Amino acid sequence: MNRPQYIERMIEIIKRMPGVGPKMAERLSYHILKMSENEVGSLVDSILKARHIIKSCSICYNLSEHDPCSICTDSARDCSIICVVETPQDLIAISKVKDYKGLYFVLGGVLSPLDAVCPDDIRIDNLIKRLKSDNINEVIIATDTDSKGEMTAVYLAELIKKIGIIDIKVTRIGYGLPVGGDIEYADEVTISRAIAGRREM
């Protein structure tokens, strides 16, 4: 017997989400069907509200209810340091580290020739514009420690040197983070050590 088409449709949509395979999509779909109408209503409502209200900060590209976001408008922060991350999730992970008081920039991905992701596909131009206009002394490159993250870090460091922004020190987080590690899932202590142990590129 075939599944009812509406269940099939739910599974198809959920399956497209990152990290969700067909089995997980099936489990989640049947779980949603068992939820009360109120619970389903809250789920749908929270997704729609987030979709409508959350925007990208025009300075750092963090996701926020306000533009500029609360980090960019926080006068207690050190405006001379920018930490470059891949995703808003990475920014959240690093923002839990109390000893980092600088600002951020979300690249929106990393370079990946195999997936046809080139410099124009991520926010490298926007980053360079910001480095040229703001008074930045240091850029901490906090992309993941996998091969794409490393390649992007090297590309950025060389680009920043090449365009002649000589006053900016480019550093790379490192010590303590496992090779191939995802910053989003690293714990606070590990990230804190990785930032403290950053080395100049």
Point out which residues bind Zn ion (CB under 5 A): 57, 59-60, 62, 68-69, 72
For Zn ion, the closer CB: 97 or 105: 105
Q: Provide, rounded to whole angstroms, the least separation between the CB of residue 30 and Zn ion.
A: 40
For Zn ion, the closer CB: 68 or 174: 68
Q: Provide, rounded to whole angstroms, the least separation between the CB of residue 60 and Zn ion.
A: 3
Q: Provide, rounded to whole angstroms, the least separation between the CB of residue 189 and Zn ion.
A: 26
Q: Provide, rounded to whole angstroms, the least separation between the CB of residue 101 and Zn ion.
A: 15
**DSSP string covering the chain:** -PPPHHHHHHHHHHHTSTT--HHHHHHHHHHHHHS-HHHHHHHHHHHHHHHHH-EE-TTT--EESSSS-TTTT-TTSEEEEEEEESSHHHHHHHHT-TT--EEEEE-SS--BGGGTB-GGGTTHHHHHHHHHHS--SEEEE---SSHHHHHHHHHHHHHHHHTT-TT-EEEE--TTSPTT--GGGS-HHHHHHHHHT-EE-
**CB closest to Zn ion, residue no:** 57
For Zn ion, the closer CB: 24 or 128: 128
For Zn ion, the closer CB: 11 or 85: 85
Q: Provide, rounded to whole angstroms, the least separation between the CB of residue 59 and Zn ion.
A: 5
For Zn ion, the closer CB: 68 or 176: 68
